[in-house]
Structure 1
Amino acid sequence: MPRYQPEPRPYELMVLFRPDLAEDGLDAAIERVSSLIQEAGGTVTNIKRDTPWGRRRLAYPIQRFQDAIYVLYHFTCPPAGTRDIERELRLNEQVIRHLMVRLDE
């Protein structure tokens, strides 16, 4: 009997990267998160890393950092794939915080 596979849903993911990443290291970290999404069966539709995002002051220190580099991802993914993405983000040492929300249709 075939299992029910839910349709991919739209998500928004905000990732705060360490501020001490060099420009090429930041590009690699952004690409790494994009590949995580694709490995989970998702499709990245937009990556926003410039105005109004980018390097910003934090409201309170996280670990020992006062600043962070904000990157916003929009993507579609099957619901089961989001667990894998969040697990990998928690293990990634370049990510100091992340938040994934499902967008309303």
Structure 2
Amino acid sequence: MDVITERIYDYEIGMIVTPDATEEELSSIIDKVNTLITDSGGSVKETDIRGVKRMLYPIKKFREGLYVFQQFSVESNKVSVINNHLNINQSVLRYLITRL
């Protein structure tokens, strides 16, 4: 019987976090995403915190957001786990996961 394995792809997450998030909250968000990736058999390549920037339009009544980008590799069927976590996190205003 053949074992079906998923291909591992490179992805990038672009997140906008509430600007009033403390360093501990931001670290907690990033650590949780990193844990989800590594527990799914993936690896985190790079995390880039770009800082607080003004947005063109308000999102959930915030005019500014803290921009964070992460590059990682994981099996394609495991991306939904990360997606579900970011959907329920109140500190994440918006996010986008793209395959590189």
Same fold (TM over 0.5): yes
Q: Distance in 1 between matches of 2:36 and 2:59?
A: 24
Deviation, 1:39, is: 2.4
Deviations 1:22-78 (A, max 9, x none): 1222222221221122223221010011xxx21111111001111111110000000
Matching residue of 2:75 = 78
Give the distance between the partners of 1:89 and 1:31, measured in 2 at CA: 12
Amino acid at match of 1:41: G
Q: Identity of paired residues, percent?
A: 31
**Aligned match of 1:18:** 18
- Residue ranges of structure 2 left out of the alignment (5+ in a row): none
TM-score normalized by structure 2? Answer: 0.92
Q: Following TM superposition, where does structure 1 have runs of at least 4 consecutive aligned residues deviating by more than 2 angstroms?
A: none
- Counting matched residue pairs gives 100
5+ long unaligned stretches in structure 1: none
Amino acid in structure 2 at the alignment position of 1:19: P
Distance in 2, matches of 1:39 and 1:65, equals 33
When the two chains are superposed, the root-mean-square deviation of aligned CA atoms in Å is 1.2
Which residue does 2:55 correspond to in 1? 58
